[in-house]
Structure 1
Amino acid sequence: MNINQLKSFVEVVKNNFNITNAAEKLYTSQPTISKQLKILEDELSVSLFVRKNNNLLALSPMGKEVHKIACDILGQVDRIKSIVAEEDRNKKVDLHIATTHTQIRYSLPNVIDHFRRYYPNISLHFHQGAPAQLAEMVKNGDVDFAIATESMHLYEDLITLPCYRWTRSLLVPYDHPLALLKDDEQVTIEQMAEYPLITYVFGFTRGSKLDKVFYKNNLKPKVALTATDTEIIKYYVKRHLGIGVIAAASYDETEDGGALKCINIDHLVQPSYTHICVSKHTHMKDYMHEFISLYAPHIDRNIIQMPDQWETQWHSKEVYQGLPDLRSVNVNNSVAE
C-alpha cells in the first residue's frame, strides 16, 4: 500500500466514482487509476466498491471505513509537507537557476520579489548562458533547474515543463528605411535579408525557427553580430550596425521607444516556448516548486510537483496552444512595480 493508491481511491470517491474525472484531477490516465485501485483491493483482500457491470456505484461498507482512514492519512501527509515547507522557509540555502538575460531582466523581477519575501533566507544565484550551456549546467548538476527559451526536451537526461509562448520582434532605429513602414504594412523576409542582422547566439543554430524562415525562402541572412544579452543587441542596433531580432517581451516602450521602433514579425516566425528544465535525477524541494509556481501561476501546483509526469501529461499540442504569451509576465511585473 502506498500514498498514490490512497490518493487514487480518495479522488475517485470525491469525483462521484468517475475514474476518468479522477484521473484528470490527478494528471494521470484512467488505466493508471484503475490499476492503483486493483492493487489496493488485492492487498487488502476486500472489495472497496459496490460495482455493476464494471462500473463503480458506491463504497462498500468496508470501503467507507477505509475511505475515512485514507482521508485522515492523506491529511497527515499534507501536514507533514507543510511542516517541511515551513522548515525550508527558515533554512539558509542556495538556489541556483540557469537562464537567459531576457528572463532575468524582463520576466523574473516580480517573481524574485515575491520569492524573497516568502523565503528570505534562500540566496538566489542566476547563471546565464546560451541554451546549450544551460542544458549542460543542469546535466552537470551545477544548477537546480533552468528556465530555457529553446527546446531543452531534446536532451536525453532532462525533463521539461512548457510554461510560456514567446515571439520575436524586429528592432530598427527610427531613421532606418524599415521604420517608414506604415502600421498596416507587414515587413517581408526579403526586406529583412537586405540588411545586416543582429540577434541571439541561438538565433541561427541549426533548425532554429528564425533560420528556417530564411532557408524556406532561399535567402541567406547577413548576420553581423550575435549575443546572449538583449541589451547588447539593442545597443548595436542603436549604433546602426544592423537590424535586430529579439524576444518581443524584451522591448520596453518606456526605455526603448525613444530610439528604437519595434516591428511585429509574428507573421514570419513561428512562436517558441519557454520551459522549466530539470535533471531526471534531481530531487526537487518545496521552495523550488514555489519559485516555479510564482513564475508560471497558470500551471496547477500538482503538475509542478510531479516532474516525472511532465513529459507524458504536459506536452500535448493542446497544452502548447493554450500557453500564455511571455509578455503577460512583464505586464504583471509592471503592475507590481
Structure 2
Amino acid sequence: MNLHQFRFVQEAVRRNLNLTETAKALHTSQPGVSKAIIELEEELGVEIFARHGKRLKRITEPGEHVLKSIELIMREVGNLRRIGEQFSAQDSGTLSIATTHTQARYVLPVPVAKLREAFPKVNVSLHQGSPDQVARMVLDEVAEIGIATESLTQYEDLVTLPCYEWQHMLVLPAGHPLTKKENITLEDLAQEPLITYHPSFTGRTKIDLAFAAKRLHPRIALEAIDSDVIKTYVRLGLGVGIVAEMALRDDGTNSDLVAIAAGPLFGLNVARVAFKRSAYLRNFVYKFAELLSPTLDRATIIKAMEGRKHADEI
C-alpha cells in the first residue's frame, strides 16, 4: 500500500464517489484511480466501496474504518511536511487563511500587515467563502486557520477558539424617521423593509431568532454577503440595513449614514478561529492568531489542540 492509494480513496469520498471527478482533481486517469483503489482493497482483504458495475455506490462498513485510518495517516503526513518546512525555513512559507468577506475586508488587514512586518518572507493566501466553506477548507488543509462567526463549532475535527465579540448595527440614511426614536424596538423594525446578510453569514441566525422569539415576521427586502453592498442599498433608500459593527469603522466612508447599536435587540456574536485537530502549526500561525486577539496566545492554542474541541472562554 502507498500514499497514492490513500489519496485516491480520500478524494473519491470527497467527490461523492465520482471517479471521473476524482481523476480530474488529482490530474490522473480514471482507470488509474480505479485500479489503485482495487489494489488497496485486495491488499487489505476488504472492500472499501460497494459497487454497481464499475461505479462506486457507497462506503462499506469496513471501508468506514479504513477511511478513518487513512485520515490519520494523511494528517500526519501533512504534519511531517510542515515540521520540515518549519525547521528548514523558520521564517518563510505561506500562511493560508480561510474566512468570510466581512472578516477579510474589515478585520484581517491590520493583523495581516503586522504579520508581514514580523515575518517579511511569509506570503499570505486569503480564501473567502461561506462559514461552511471556511470549515471545509480547514478540514481539507487548503487553509491552516479559519475565521468566521457561524458553523465552525459544528465540525468534529475542528478545534475552535473564541476570537472577539461583536454586535450588529442598524444603518439608516440621515433623516430616516427611526433616527429620531430614542429606543428602537424589534416591532419598529418589523414594519420596515430590511437589508441584511444572507442566512448563512455574519450572525444572521441571531437576527432571525430575535424576531422569531417575538413572533414577528420581518420584511427582508434584500440579502447580501457583502456589508458594502448592504450600505449601498441603504443609501438608495431601499430599507434599513443591519450590518456587523466591523463594517462601520471610522474611516470617513460612512459619514452619510446613521449607525445605531443593535446589540440589545439581537445579542452579541462571537467570531471564532478554527484549526484542524492534531495539525502541526508553524510559528507564524501562532503569531497571526496572537495578532487577531490577545486571548489567542500560543499556550492557549496548544492546550485547546490537545484537549477540548471548542473552548468557550473569551
* Offset, 1:274: 0.8
1:99 matched to which residue of 2?
Answer: 99
Match status 1:198 vs 2:195:
yes
1:278 matched to which residue of 2?
Answer: 275
1:291 matched to which residue of 2?
Answer: 288
* Offset, 1:281: 4.5
Match status 1:248 vs 2:245:
yes
CA RMSD of superposed structures (Å): 2.6
Q: Give the distance between the partners of 1:211 and 1:310, measured in 2 at CA.
A: 33
Query: 2:90 is matched by which residue type in structure 1?
Result: D
1:138 matched to which residue of 2?
Answer: 138
* Offset, 1:139: 2.1
> Alpha-carbon deviations, 1:124-175, whole Å to 9, x = none?
1111122122122222222112111124111222110111111111101113
Q: Residues 63-212 of structure 1: matches in 2 within 5 Å?
A: 87-89=89-91, 91=92, 93-181=93-181, 185-202=182-199, 208-212=205-209
Query: 1:173 is matched by which residue type in structure 2?
Result: P
1:216 matched to which residue of 2?
Answer: 213
Query: 1:171 is matched by which residue type in structure 2?
Result: V
* Offset, 1:244: 0.9
Kept in 1, the 8 Å contact 2:153–2:310? The answer is no
Aligned residues: 231
Query: 1:161 is matched by which residue type in structure 2?
Result: L
Q: Give the distance between the partners of 2:197 and 2:204, measured in 1 at CA.
A: 14
* Offset, 1:305: 3.1
> Alpha-carbon deviations, 1:222-253, whole Å to 9, x = none?
11222221111111111112111111122134
Residues 179 and 313 from structure 1, CA distance in 2 versus in 1: closer, same or farther, beyond 3 angstroms?
Answer: closer
Q: Give the distance between the partners of 1:313 and 1:229, measured in 2 at CA.
A: 28
* Offset, 1:110: 2.0
Residues 161 and 128 from structure 1, CA distance in 2 versus in 1: closer, same or farther, beyond 3 angstroms?
Answer: same
Q: Give the distance between the partners of 1:204 and 1:106, measured in 2 at CA.
A: 15
Pick aligned residue for 1:269 from 266, 281, 288: 266
Gap regions ≥5 residues in structure 2: 1-82
Kept in 1, the 8 Å contact 2:289–2:296? The answer is no
Query: 1:245 is matched by which residue type in structure 2?
Result: I
> Alpha-carbon deviations, 1:57-84, whole Å to 9, x = none?
xxxxxxxxxxxxxxxxxxxxxxxx9xx5
Residues 309 and 159 from structure 1, CA distance in 2 versus in 1: closer, same or farther, beyond 3 angstroms?
Answer: same
Q: Give the distance between the partners of 2:184 and 2:89, measured in 1 at CA.
A: 55
Query: 1:218 is matched by which residue type in structure 2?
Result: R
What is the DSSP-based 3-state SS (H/G/I as helix, E as strand, rest coil) of the residue aligned with 1:122? strand
Q: Give the distance between the partners of 2:150 and 2:180, measured in 1 at CA.
A: 32
1:237 matched to which residue of 2?
Answer: 234
Q: Give the distance between the partners of 2:87 and 2:265, measured in 1 at CA.
A: 46
Q: Residues 29-44 of structure 1: matches in 2 within 5 Å?
A: none
* Offset, 1:302: 0.7
Kept in 1, the 8 Å contact 2:156–2:309? The answer is no
What is the DSSP-based 3-state SS (H/G/I as helix, E as strand, rest coil) of the residue aligned with 2:267? coil
Q: Mean alpha-carbon deviation: is it higher for 104-113 or for 225-234? A: 104-113
Residues 154 and 108 from structure 1, CA distance in 2 versus in 1: closer, same or farther, beyond 3 angstroms?
Answer: same
Query: 1:174 is matched by which residue type in structure 2?
Result: A
Q: Give the distance between the partners of 1:304 and 1:205, measured in 2 at CA.
A: 24
Kept in 1, the 8 Å contact 2:166–2:244? The answer is yes
Query: 2:291 is matched by which residue type in structure 1?
Result: L
Which structure is larger by alpha-carbon Rg, 1 or 2?
1
> Alpha-carbon deviations, 1:20-73, whole Å to 9, x = none?
xxxxxxxxxxxxxxxxxxxxxxxxxxxxxxxxxxxxxxxxxxxxxxxxxxxxxx
Kept in 2, the 8 Å contact 1:198–1:224? The answer is yes
* Offset, 1:205: 10
> Alpha-carbon deviations, 1:167-225, whole Å to 9, x = none?
111101113221222xxx11100111111111122368999111011101111121122
Q: Give the distance between the partners of 2:247 and 2:146, measured in 1 at CA.
A: 19
Kept in 2, the 8 Å contact 1:99–1:128? The answer is yes
Residues 229 and 313 from structure 1, CA distance in 2 versus in 1: closer, same or farther, beyond 3 angstroms?
Answer: closer
